[in-house]
A and B are shown apart, each in its own frame.
Chain A
């Protein structure tokens, strides 16, 4: 009797020692899910997120089980998808601005699940928001465009009038103006994130109206192929699009989500996850650039210098004095805007942009 009790105590203590040493391995892996707005083959926004997921999976190995769902529309469908993912996962990443309300709603119903919403600004206790300072990338390409344009018209293919997109237009315009006082920006809204045919239509329309440099805030490579065919220049969006425009691409803004995803999933594993707001840029390596190409050395040098300045935090793309489009003052001399509300809810064009603000 006492002997058997002794052995069972021995067994138990042995087991606990084993568990203590192997705790990390035998613990359940973190279940992480990602909701994508488009297909991973878009070679733009969703592609970049998916690359980040692959990076995190490689880094965390067996500690994480990844689930991804592509092409989830930003309507009531997204709430259904997010709900079903919340039931089976520890953390759910929703990677488009339009998922904001459904994410917050579902988060309220699943308080034990962690949520991460990209590019939004509403944060209950179990929701983090994260975004990249893409406007820093736009600042760099704006300078290049201002130098490279001959017609002084930059064409901008925009998706939806949300703060993220407005920030990009304003930042690119201000940077282009800073090096070229005659430059103008023409904005065409296509009201879709991904429709290669329509993006190409928009690119053709802008070129017909005099644009000789294209920027885009949509997700496919269509505009780049049009630029290549028409012999003008363009910038890659969200990933390196050089293959679609070897002669057209000047550089591209690359979104690098990988390290962030790995960190956040590791935080769930370690029990240290807390609701945070991340807004990282060139300095933190979340915004990167494709190799500079098809431009003279002085333009390239200026762009490289701008990237260095941004990475040191020495410059801010929005530095006053800046007025709003209607002439009312926004930033005073030397002033830079706070993240909230100015940057994250931006809903106006800056002074100098001719295009009318979409309603």
Chain B
């Protein structure tokens, strides 16, 4: 295998993994606050559409990314309103959000299926990108790839290094106790859901702004569900999201390359692998939970908070 092919594969993996990192890190924060939002796929596809539309009309990547963030946030606010104020069932509401997002984007995007845009290109950091091998590998990636890594760091920092993060986690673990000592459960959760929506929107937009310069209905093709699996895979630990996303994305890209080289590994087995890993981690979490050595699963995940006072 020559050097340029290797670099090509690494870049391919970074492109395939980044949408998953964005969507999963957003959902991770949401679930840490005790809310299960199954609408990731729906929020992603709306972000993909809005990012595409704005890039098409303005040609400004910054505005396009902003539109994707706001679009994901807007649609997630529906979920937030329904679950936090009207206390609807989170699973059902999340599923409805996915169906709504897919349908809405297909409808609103009808006029854009025949258009193309200018993709957001990779940046070459001066000097550093000229270092042989390491340069193209680390210092010549797409700006949004760097942003994804930064977001993971920021979420980790927020959750574990700030007071608000501690409050958010405590709300996720025991909303009644958090409420009793005076924290506004609904407000924290509302904000977390909006953040999750923004990240999902950005993840979706990565597909239509970086990966392919087209808009197509259902172009997220199930990545929202993979992101949900990733949060479990990461056992709600931010940095493990990166690991999981690289595993999921890496297997996708590597098996395509392996086929080109005629390496005989069954593609079906390979694509099963990440899911299998997720199941194994779920089982081991359960065992650790039984032995009371686990502190990561938010105790109130998916439970409705009904303030009694």
**What residues make up the interface of A, taking CB atoms closer than 8 Å to B?**
38-39, 41-43, 70-71, 155, 186-192, 194-202, 204-206, 208-209, 220-222, 225-226, 229, 243-244, 354-356, 358-359
Contacts and interface: CB of A to CB of B under 8 A. Distances in A.
Given A41-B113, A196-B207, A225 B8 contact: no
A201 B19 CA distance: 14
14 contacts: A41-B110, A41-B113, A43-B114, A71-B218, A189-B259, A191-B271, A196-B216, A198-B221, A204-B8, A205-B256, A209-B261, A225-B214, A229-B213, A354-B262
Contacts of A202: 256
A195 B253 contact: no
Contacts of B219: 195-197, 220
A57 to B, nearest CB: 18
Interface string B18-54: 0100000000000000000000000000000000000
B96 interface: no
B253 A220 contact: no
Tier of interface size on chain B: 35 or more
B252 A198 contact: yes
A184 to B, nearest CB: 11
A195 B221 contact: yes
Contact of A194 (B16, B218, B260): B218
Contact of A188 (B214, B221, B260, B268): B260
A186 B221 contact: no
A226 B109 CA distance: 22
Contacts of A195: 219, 221
A192 B93 CA distance: 29
B5 A209 contact: yes
A217 to B, nearest CB: 14
B13 to A, nearest CB: 9
Given A196-B207, A197-B16, A197-B223, 7 more contacts: A190-B256, A191-B271, A196-B214, A197-B19, A197-B219, A201-B12, A359-B266
Given A197-B212, A205-B12, A206-B260, A39 B253 contact: no
B176 interface: no
B137 to A, nearest CB: 15
Contacts of B4: 208
Closest 3 CB pairs of A and B: A39-B217, A41-B113, A195-B221
A294 to B, nearest CB: 17
Given A201-B15, A225-B116, A354-B262, A244 B256 contact: no
Given A197-B219, A243-B114, A191 B262 contact: no
Contacts of A194: 216, 218, 221
Contacts of A222: 212, 214
B134 interface: no
B9 interface: yes
B257 interface: yes
A191 B271 CA distance: 10
A199 to B, nearest CB: 8
A41 to B, nearest CB: 4
A186 B260 contact: yes
Nearest to A205: B256
B119 interface: yes
A128 B4 CA distance: 51
Nearest to A43: B113
Nearest to B16: A201
B36 to A, nearest CB: 24
A220 B113 CA distance: 11
Contacts of B252: 198, 201
B180 interface: no
Given A186-B260, A190-B256, A220 B12 contact: no
Listed residue (B106, B109, B116, B271) with the most chain A CB atoms within 10 angstroms of its CB:
B116
A74 to B, nearest CB: 15
A197 B211 contact: yes
A192 B262 contact: no
